[in-house]
A = this chain, B = another copy of it.
Amino acid sequence: MAYLYDMTHQEAKAKLIEAWGNLGSNWGISRTAAQIHALLMVSAKALTTDDIMEELLISRGNASMSLKTLMEWGVVKKQFVPGQRKEYYTSEKDVWSLATQIAKERQRRELTPTIEALKAVQEVEGESSDIKEFNKMTKNLLKFAKQSDTVLSLFVKAESNKFLNRLIKLLK
């Protein structure tokens, strides 16, 4: 497995996995789950739970739970391999649908509940300066949250590449 020129590949892979793990832990996904995601992204073939355990030195339970989370996020899928008893896992490889999928999940998990909460606290009765400030602020926050929601929806619906590319050119 360890060719001479392969060392660089192994090192680069380790670095990527580390970086992705760090990013993930800033995003509410566990470090291990993010690392599994990175590993699957850069693997040409689908991997089994055992492959993952071996490469990342994690327990079976951890691998199982993390894969479950990643599948809930919609970024990892089981792949059917004929004649094989074990399950094989792969990641979405198209970076744009990956981003779309993540945006969709965040919208569902964060934006939607926040919008609901903001709606619930709109327009409190009263004349004190604190109440006026409260109403002004929650109104603006709701407006902003709704706009973000619209933008995200557009992003999720627009199919991939072309959309943001055009957008970037438009604004440069």
Question: Using a CB–CB distance below 8 Å, which chain A residues touch chain B?
Answer: 3, 5-6, 8-9, 12-13, 15-16, 18-19, 22-23, 26-28, 41-45, 93, 95-96, 99, 109-110, 113-114, 117-118, 120-121, 124-126, 128-134, 137-138, 140-141, 143-144, 147, 150-151, 154, 164-165, 167-168, 170-172
24 inter-chain pairs at a CB distance below 8 angstroms, sorted by A residue, are A5-B125, A5-B126, A6-B126, A8-B124, A8-B125, A9-B134, A12-B120, A12-B121, A15-B117, A15-B120, A19-B117, A22-B113, A26-B109, A41-B141, A42-B133, A42-B137, A42-B138, A45-B129, A95-B140, A95-B143, A147-B164, A151-B171, A154-B172, A170-B170
In the bound assembly, the distance between CA atoms of A145 and B128 in angstroms comes to: 47
Q: Which residue of B lies closest to A131 (CB)?
A: B9
The reply to whether B110 and A9 form a contact with Cβ atoms under 8 Å apart is: no
Q: How many copies of this chain are found per oligomer?
A: 2
Interface of A is mostly: helix
A44 cross-chain contacts in B, Cβ below 8 A = 129-130, 132-133
The reply to whether A110 and B23 form a contact with Cβ atoms under 8 Å apart is: yes
In the bound assembly, the distance between CA atoms of A154 and B130 in angstroms comes to: 35
Q: Which residue of B lies closest to A6 (CB)?
A: B126
